[in-house]
Structure 1
Amino acid sequence: MGRTILGMLVGVVVAIAVIVAVEAVGHRFYPPPAGLDPLNPVHEAAFAKFVAAMPFAGKAMLALAWTLGSFVGALAAARIARHQTAAALLVALVVMSGVVGMIMKVPHPTWLAIIGLLLPIPVALVAVRLVYRRTTLPRL
């Protein structure tokens, strides 16, 4: 049980780190206005305007961040945990809860919301499958 909990914790931290890193790359290409703090409720309207005006490629970077974060975090969780699927799915659910929080706070395009809510679980299961294959193949 301890390895599974550790796997879950590591997976969530890795997922968040990947999401932050990919979003940081996106912000280099599509920087937010100076002084905009997305965590400050006072700037909520300005942040919503920024997201609405962001080009498709910038929004695609968000989808990539959420999906890649879920995949890499689930991969890390599954590599550590004894209950690989449970650990990976928890990571995906944490990512999805972050997506829900962001969508509730700032309106996002429907397609982006759908991707953010539908892809984390399947990519987490792919990660589990990759780890499972690697750990169960016979040694030659």
Structure 2
Amino acid sequence: MGRTILGMLVGVVVAIAVIAAVETLGHRFWPPPAGLDPTDPANEAAFAAFIAGMPFAAKLLVLVAWVLGTFIGALAAAKLARHQTAAALLVALVVLSGVVGMIMKVPHPTWLSVAGLLLPIPVALLAVRLVHRRTTLPRVP
């Protein structure tokens, strides 16, 4: 049980770090307007306008951040945990909760919202499959 909880914690931290790193990279290419604080409710309209005006590539990078963060976080969780699927799915659920929060706070394009809601669980299960497959393959002498 301890290894599974550790795997979940590490996986969530890794997922958040990867998402933050990829989104930071995106901000280097497509910086938000100076003074825009997305955490300030008074700036919600300005933040929504910023999201709406982002080029397609910038929006795609947001999706890449969510998917890559889920995958690497779930991979880390599954490698550490005894209950690999549970640990990886918890990572996906944490990412999903962040996606839902962002969608509710700021309108996103429909394709980005749908993909952000549909992809984390299959990506986490793929990570589990890769870890499980690697740990169950017979060793060649």
- Give the shorter-chain TM-score range: over 0.9
Q: Give the drift of 1:43.
A: 1.2
- 1:62-101 alignment to 2 at 5 Å? 62-101=62-101
Taking the aligned partners of 1:114 and 1:131, their CA distance within structure 2 comes to 27
**Secondary structure of residue in 2 paired with 1:85:** helix
How many residues align? The count is 140
Are 2:50 and 1:45 aligned?
Answer: no
Taking the aligned partners of 2:52 and 2:104, their CA distance within structure 1 comes to 14
- 1:54-101 CA deviation, whole Å, 9 max, x = no partner? 010000000000000000000000000000000000000100000000
Which runs of 5 or more structure 1 residues have no equivalent in the other structure?
none
Taking the aligned partners of 1:120 and 1:96, their CA distance within structure 2 comes to 7
**Secondary structure of residue in 2 paired with 1:139:** coil
Taking the aligned partners of 2:83 and 2:107, their CA distance within structure 1 comes to 36
Q: Give the drift of 1:40.
A: 1.3
Question: Corresponding residue for 2:131?
Answer: 131
Taking the aligned partners of 1:47 and 1:12, their CA distance within structure 2 comes to 26
Question: Corresponding residue for 1:10?
Answer: 10
Taking the aligned partners of 1:135 and 1:77, their CA distance within structure 2 comes to 14
CA RMSD of aligned residues (A): 0.5
**Secondary structure of residue in 1 paired with 2:32:** coil
Taking the aligned partners of 1:117 and 1:68, their CA distance within structure 2 comes to 14
Taking the aligned partners of 2:45 and 2:65, their CA distance within structure 1 comes to 23
Task: Tell me which stretches of 4 or more aligned residues in structure 1 moved more than 2 Å.
Answer: none
TM-score, normalised to structure 1's length?
0.99
Question: Corresponding residue for 1:31?
Answer: 31
TM-score, normalised to structure 2's length?
0.98
Which runs of 5 or more structure 2 residues have no equivalent in the other structure?
none
Q: How high is the sequence identity, in percent, across the aligned residues?
A: 79
**Secondary structure of residue in 2 paired with 1:99:** helix
Aligned partner letter, 2:121: I
Aligned partner letter, 2:28: R
- 1:92-133 CA deviation, whole Å, 9 max, x = no partner? 010000000000000000000001000000110110011001
